[in-house]
């Protein structure tokens, strides 16, 4: 439910974090739960960041390796299984996780507008603009990766300039290319603000981890609330040229 009172949004570093803190206080339980849900959804992606091979386990044994060759067939089967699960994990990370990430981004935008975040928004992408979300995520990731391959700094610039893509896809229903172009336009003149907020966010996240690990969840609520407030501030600043896709 939207109230008549609004946050005083301005596209500055201090005000965005300040408003993010207000959102943190006003909608903490809802956004905290969303953050936990996202961490659970993203957890399977972390299970495949390992290397498995026969020598990894057997090379340290003080016996000739040929004694262990009877396990070769098992290693082949295990390798095939790892490949299958790897493909499943890739599909999961590309086709499922972005929908929840984009949905949660919109929930933070709702909170930044003093609306009660709607949990239905978290999965709304599956029934409304699924392909736009998947393609926008692929396009954004590809552009950032290309930038990082080009001596890192271009990747940082691209990441900062495309920070609003998820919001625009969900909020304004823009298609992937339009969302990338609009995010690039909207962040013109605000690149250093986004970069500064990203750097400070790293320290906030570290501080959260130092607070018995679980502090990372409140830290992420504050960080994501602050970026949503920055988006809302820029939207209010540049509204005339931001139009929903028809």
pLDDT, tens digit, for every residue of 209-245? 998 888 999 999 999 999 999 999 999 997 654 444 4
Which residue's entry shows tokens 């969840």?
A: 217
Q: Is residue 245 part of a domain?
A: no
Q: Is residue 58 part of a domain?
A: yes
Q: What is the domain extent for residue 88?
A: 13-239
Closest among 109, 92, 9, 101 to 45, alpha carbons compared: 92
Percent of the chain with pLDDT over 90: 70
Per-residue pLDDT, 52: 43
Task: Tell me the whole-structure pTM to 2 decimals.
Answer: 0.84
Is 232 contained in some domain? yes
Euclidean distance between CA atoms 123 and 44, whole angstroms:
18
In a domain, 84, yes or no: yes
Question: Taking all residues of the chain, what is their mean pLDDT, rounded to a whole number?
Answer: 86
Q: Report if residue 3 sits inside a domain.
A: no
Q: How many domains does the chain have?
A: 1
Do the domain assignments include residue 215?
yes
Position 77 confidence tier, pLDDT thresholds 50, 70, 90: confident
Q: What is the mean pLDDT of residues 39-62?
A: 58
The secondary structure of the chain in percent helix, strand, coil, rounded to multiples of 5, reads: 75, 0, 25
Using an 8 Å Cβ cutoff, are 158 and 122 in contact?
Answer: no
- Is residue 4 domain-resident? no
């Amino acid at each position: 439910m939207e109230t008549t009172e609004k946050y005083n949004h301005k596209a500055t570093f201090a005000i965005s974090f300040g408003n993010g803190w207000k959102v943190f206080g006003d909608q903490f339980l809802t956004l905290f739960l969303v953050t936990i849900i996202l961490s659970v959804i993203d957890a399977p992606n972390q299970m495949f960041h390992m290397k498995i091979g026969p020598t990894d386990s057997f090379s340290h044994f003080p016996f000739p390796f040929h004694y262990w060759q009877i396990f070769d067939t098992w290693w082949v089967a295990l390798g095939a299984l790892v490949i299958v699960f790897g493909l499943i994990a890739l599909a999961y990370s590309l086709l499922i996780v972005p929908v929840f990430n984009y949905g949660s981004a919109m929930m933070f935008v709702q909170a930044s507008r003093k609306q009660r975040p709607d949990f239905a928004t978290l999965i709304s992408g599956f029934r409304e603009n699924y392909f736009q979300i998947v393609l926008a995520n692929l396009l954004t990731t590809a552009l950032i990766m290309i930038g990082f391959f080009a001596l890192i700094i271009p990747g940082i610039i691209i990441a900062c300039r495309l920070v609003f893509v998820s919001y625009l896809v969900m909020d304004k229903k823009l298609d992937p290319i339009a969302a990338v172009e609009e995010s690039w336009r909207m962040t013109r003149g605000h690149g250093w603000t986004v970069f500064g907020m990203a750097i400070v966010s790293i320290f906030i996240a570290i501080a959260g981890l130092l607070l018995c690990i679980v502090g990372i969840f409140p830290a992420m609520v504050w960080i994501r609330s602050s970026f949503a407030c920055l988006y809302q501030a820029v939207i209010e600043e540049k509204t005339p040229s931001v139009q929903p896709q028809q």
